[in-house]
């Protein structure tokens, strides 16, 4: 599609190709199940891992970003790809119970997870903080606190 290629070259993105790619690679039933879990604020690390794997099926982060209008100038390099691999390694180093209930992660468990994933405890802690922030946002959305959520969002 020459018109799509031209749009990408001009930095205008290619949403049509992105949607087509998503339709090819994403299981619709799984996506609906995941959306429902997010709506009910029951999202756990198993779900997060599943979402990461779905995104990876679509291609590299850099190629996906280039397809989104307005974001094509953002450089997503090897560092971001490495961070995704690291996040996946951390989650895979957890037991299924820990993935379903991350609140049980004490210092000893975090150390074991860090060793198992080839990372530092601070990397595990950072991931858990980010995951908790995401859960908080989902709970606010579940409770219909969209206004409160918008007030708490950092200014862009």
Per-residue model confidence as pLDDT tens digits over 37-84: 766 667 889 988 887 887 777 666 666 666 665 555 566 667 777 888
> Which two tokens mark 54?
């779905």
- Is the pLDDT score of 11 beyond 70? no
| pLDDT band per the 50, 70, 90 thresholds, residue 32 | confident
Domains of the chain listed by start with CATH number: 2-145 (1.10.260.30)
Contact 76, 61 (CB under 8 A): yes
What totals of helices (H) and strands (E) does the chain contain, helices first?
10, 0
Residue 139 vs residues 20, 37, 40, 144, 149: alpha-carbon distances, Å: 31, 11, 8, 9, 10
Instruction: Please report the pLDDT score of residue 156 as a whole number.
Output: 42
Q: Where are the beta strands (DSSP E) in the chain?
A: none
The three-class DSSP label of residue 116 is helix
Instruction: Please report the pLDDT score of residue 7 as a whole number.
Output: 52
Tell me the range of 10-24, 29-43, 95-109 where mean pLDDT is highest: 95-109
Tell me the range of 16-30, 117-131, 138-152 where mean pLDDT is highest: 117-131
User: Can you list the pairs that 23-30 forms with residues at least 24 positions away whose Cβ atoms lie under 8 Å?
Assistant: 25/54, 25/57, 25/58, 26/54, 26/57, 26/58, 27/54, 30/54
Q: Which residues touch 13 (CB under 8 Å, ≥6 apart)?
A: 7, 66, 67, 68, 69, 70, 71, 72
Instruction: Please report the pLDDT score of residue 113 as a whole number.
Output: 98
- Is the pLDDT score of 127 beyond 80? yes
């Amino acid at each position: 599609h020459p018109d799509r290629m031209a749009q990408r070259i001009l930095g205008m993105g290619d949403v049509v190709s992105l949607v087509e790619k998503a339709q090819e690679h994403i299981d619709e039933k799984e996506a609906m199940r995941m959306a429902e879990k997010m709506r009910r604020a029951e999202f756990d690390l198993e779900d997060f891992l599943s979402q990461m794997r779905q995104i990876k099926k679509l291609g590299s982060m850099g190629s996906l970003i280039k397809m989104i209008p307005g974001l094509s100038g953002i450089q997503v390099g090897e560092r971001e790809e490495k961070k995704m691999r690291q996040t996946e390694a951390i989650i895979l180093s957890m037991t299924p119970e820990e993935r379903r209930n991350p609140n049980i992660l004490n210092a000893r468990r975090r150390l074991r997870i860090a060793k198992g994933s080839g990372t530092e405890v601070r990397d595990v802690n950072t991931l858990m903080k980010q995951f908790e922030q995401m859960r908080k946002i989902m709970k606010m959305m579940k409770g219909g606190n969209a206004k409160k959520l918008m007030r708490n969002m950092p200014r862009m």
